[in-house]
Chain A
Amino acid sequence: MDLGQFLSIFISSVFIYNVILSRFLGLCSFIAVSKETKPALSMGLAVLFVISMSSIITWLIYTYLLIPFNITYLRTISFILVIAAFVQLLEILIRKFTPGLYKVFGIYLPLITCNCAVFGVAVLNSDMFFVNNKAVPGSFIYSLFQGICVSIGYTLAMLLMSGIRERLELCNIPKSVREFPLAFVIASLMGLAFMGFNGFKF
């Protein structure tokens, strides 16, 4: 476990393999919620919380349940169930105990249940930090850190995109590319810009 590893996880999951611009996970929510800055930020916060929690939970399940009983082929089914249940539970708890927080990001939680990004990170963690069904040293910390970095990348892309789309409200965009098509083109240009980080070495 060293600093270089953490830095490379950070750069690669925030910029190079940005969860939205490069891996295309959570694209639906990216296009749908990025019309204004405030909801985009709240969504980013919600995703950050859910992804970090689900990274922990799925790591625990994978290490202490799926591997010892040799049932790793149940990964897909168990991860998606646990994530769905966890998000539902979280929504209920937040609504009950902290109505203020619920107003800020609780309403986005149902959207996250089926967000590919959450599930994708869980699968990615179990692919990257487990070799031949054995956890690599420090895999727990790496998984959690990767989860956090992926959500930072998600929030960054959301924030930039929402700012751009707020500005585009005032523009005279050709009719046929309004909304979706242009959002994709902008995302593509952002992806081109982020390519500047390719091949990072420390």
Chain B
Amino acid sequence: MTEKQQNRCFQEFIKGIIRENPTFVLALGLCPTLAVSTSVSNAIGMGAASTFVLIGSNLIVSLIKKQIPEEIRIPCYIVIIATFVTVVELIMKAYSPALNRALGIYVPLIVVNCIVLGRAEAFASKRTFVHSFMDALGMGIGFTLALMIISIIREFFGFGKIINYPVSYNFHPALVIGMPAGALLVIGLLLGFFNLIKQKK
């Protein structure tokens, strides 16, 4: 691999984290982002599960892209994604039932997460095996980081905890931030904040 190629690979990886962050820039896959960001541990679990599905589906799609007929490509992608989601579901049920309960219906819902299908359609169906892998890894990590940012904010203000450790007994957390309405508020303000930074530049 020449240096140029390595550089290219690195670019595909790094873009998902900031420049094309799936949550804050592309605004994709918001349902799980909002629903499971009540605690950092949930966020990491969800991020890891989604990253696994992303990498798996991106790899398979880029491998068999020549064999998939153009007309029915979307159903094919969905089947591939659903397979990996089922794998994640079964693994999670077997090894960490507590996390599975906490994430609830949002584990099977990874199958309709727009990020996964979006990357398969927009990237993996056109690019090489290695690039697809780097792209999926970058997107997955970008998604996980975004989830973690939101969940750190929500866990602190909503439950008065930092990664499960209570801050102080004199701190009265605003319970609403841990509720759905608070999730919408936090994401709205965060998106506004990032827009503000972009405009300043």
Chain A residues proximal to chain B, CB less than 8 Å: 21-28, 31, 73-77, 80-81, 84-85, 113-116, 119-120, 123-124, 127, 175-177, 180-185, 187-189, 191-192, 195
Contact = CB atoms under 8 A, between A and B. Distances in A.
Nearest to B198: A176
8 contacts: A27-B30, A31-B27, A76-B108, A77-B83, A81-B78, A81-B79, A175-B199, A184-B185
A116 B184 contact: no
A188 B181 contact: yes
Contacts of B108: 75-76, 119, 123
B86 interface: yes
A119 B181 contact: no
Interface residues of B, number: 42
Contacts of A114: 78, 112, 114, 117
Given A76-B89, A81-B75, A176-B195, A185 B188 contact: yes
Contact of A76 (B111, B179, B185, B187): B111
Closest 6 CB pairs of A and B: A184-B188, A191-B181, A188-B184, A181-B192, A188-B185, A77-B82
Contacts of A124: 105
B85 interface: yes
B34 A24 contact: yes
B176 interface: yes
B80 to A, nearest CB: 10
Taking chain A's interface residues, is the majority helix, strand, or loop, or is none over half, making it mixed?
A: helix
Contact of B86 (A26, A74, A120, A177): A74
Interface in B30-55: 30-32, 34-35
Taking chain B's interface residues, is the majority helix, strand, or loop, or is none over half, making it mixed?
A: helix
Contacts of A183: 188
A123 B179 CA distance: 22
B130 interface: no
Contacts of B35: 23-24
B90 interface: yes
Given A21-B184, A188-B185, 7 more contacts: A28-B30, A73-B86, A127-B105, A176-B196, A180-B191, A185-B192, A191-B181
B189 interface: yes
Interface in B3-36: 27-28, 30-32, 34-35
Given A73-B90, A114-B117, A188-B188, A80 B112 contact: yes
Tell which of B28, B31, B34 has the most Cβ of chain A within 10 Å: B31
Contact of B109 (A120, A176, A182): A120
B195 A85 contact: no
B92 to A, nearest CB: 12
B106 to A, nearest CB: 9
A191 B34 CA distance: 13
Contacts of A84: 74-75, 78
A35 to B, nearest CB: 15
Interface in B52-111: 74-75, 78-79, 82-83, 85-86, 89-90, 105, 108-109, 111
